[in-house]
Structure 1
Amino acid sequence: MQTLFRYNWMIREEWYKWCEELPEEELLKERIGGMGGILKTLVHIIDVELSWIRDMEGKPDFRADFPEFGTLQKIRELDARFRPEVEQFVLAWHEGLERNILKDERADGRVIEDAWGEIMRHIIAHEIHHIGQLSVWSRELGKKPVSANLVGRGLAGSLPGGE
């Protein structure tokens, strides 16, 4: 689990660097798919990761909305602000947490129950999904996307209990 989070954070950092090569209008341009734009998608990735982790910890949600975080610099600051909190939760992860249940009461009164292990895997898959969208937009711009290859990144055994 931890290895895949570390992988996502590494790839995210590489996308930030990739974004530095584009003019701001390209980062803000409305696009088909994802969250409708490069910066909007990056904010969404951070927001979803933080929201789920905070839900599991029983902490209040923090809404990372666009356009409040509408520049690459503000997105990086948002990520830097909350990454330690998320990382602390991820580093403390152990198999005993897999079956903890998060209960969420919906506006219509239904109660949804999700296992923490499933939520953690959703967070990982969610980011990978949106990184794929960034790769498509990269190709549309005639630019080489960030490599999604996990192999060769030195992540094997980088964290205790990694998957």
Structure 2
Amino acid sequence: MKSLFQYNWKIRDEWFQCLELVPITELLKERNTGVGSIFKTLFHIIDVEYSWIRALQNKTDLIFDINEYKDINSLNVLSDELRIEVKEYIDNWSSNLEFEVVTPSWIDRTYYKGEILRHIIVHEIHHTGQLSIWSKEIGMPVVSSNFIGRDLI
């Protein structure tokens, strides 16, 4: 699973780089699907990953205010800062944790830790697919979703 997290981070970083030159008005423009905008989608990806990782550690969820982030660079900084804790958890993951049960602080339900990790991976892949569609709509290049050739194994 570690290589899939590395894949998601690499793709996310490429999106940040690709979107640096896009005007903030375009990034904030409301879209018909997903969480609403390119900017909100990137924030959502970062926030959801971190929330679930904290849940896996039986920590309380931290709430981030999207209004504190004014441009794509500030989201990139947030991503990099939170990734430190996420990466530490992933680096220490062991298959014997697979069926441990956890109850996230924001929902009254239990999940297996392995199930949550897979959800985090798929969640980001889903939303980066939305970014690809929106990028095509505004005439900008799309980040390649290829796993092959990224030296992740």
| TM-score over 0.5 (shorter chain) | yes
**Shift of the alpha carbon at 1:102?**
0.8
Structure 2 equivalent of residue 21 of structure 1 = 21
| Post-superposition offset of 1:106 | 6.8
Q: Secondary structure at the match of 1:3?
A: helix
Decide which moves more: 17-26 or 5-14: 17-26
Amino acid at match of 1:114: Y
How far has the Cα of 1:64 moved from its partner?
2.3
User: Which residues in structure 2 correspond to 1:20-59 (within 5 Å)?
Assistant: 20-59=20-59
- Report which of the two structures shows the higher radius of gyration computed on alpha carbons: 1
| C-alpha separation in 2, matches of 1:89 and 1:124 | 14
Shift of 1:70: 3.7
Encode CA deviations 1:47-85: one digit per residue, 9 max, x unaligned.
000000101101221112322224212211211211110
- Report percent identity of matched pairs: 46
Q: Is contact 2:53-2:86 (8 Å) kept? A: yes
- Give 1 or 2: higher helix fraction: 2
Tell me if structure 2 keeps the 8 A contact 1:44–1:64: no
Q: How does 1:11-160 map to 2 (within 5 A)?
A: 11-104=11-104, 111-156=108-153
Deviation at 1:148, TM superposition (A): 0.4
Q: Which runs of 4+ in 1 moved over 3 A?
A: 104-107
Q: Secondary structure at the match of 1:112?
A: coil
**How many positions carry a matched residue from both structures?**
153
TM-score normalised according to structure 2 size: 0.94
Consecutive unaligned residues of structure 1, counting only runs of 5 or more, are 157-163
Q: Which moved more, 1:125-134 or 1:71-80?
A: 71-80
Letter of the 1:75 counterpart:
L
- Post-superposition shift, 1:31? 1.1
CA RMSD of aligned residues (A): 1.4
**Range that drifts further, 145-154 or 65-74:** 65-74
Separation of aligned partners in 2, 1:106 and 1:142: 38
